[in-house]
Amino acid sequence: MDAKKAAELINTIAPEVAIPVHYGLITGTSKNAGEEFSRLVKSPVKVEVRI
**What is the 3-class SS of 7-50, one letter each residue?**
HHHHHHHCCCEECCCCCCCCCCCHHHHHHHHHHHCCCCCEECCC
Amino acid 49: pLDDT:
77
Domain count, the chain: 1
> Which amino acid, one-letter code, is at 48?
E
Q: Residue 22: which domain range? A: 3-47
Amino acid 22: pLDDT:
61
Q: Give the pLDDT of the chain (51 residues) as one tens digit per residue.
A: 778 888 999 999 999 999 887 655 555 555 555 788 889 999 999 988 776
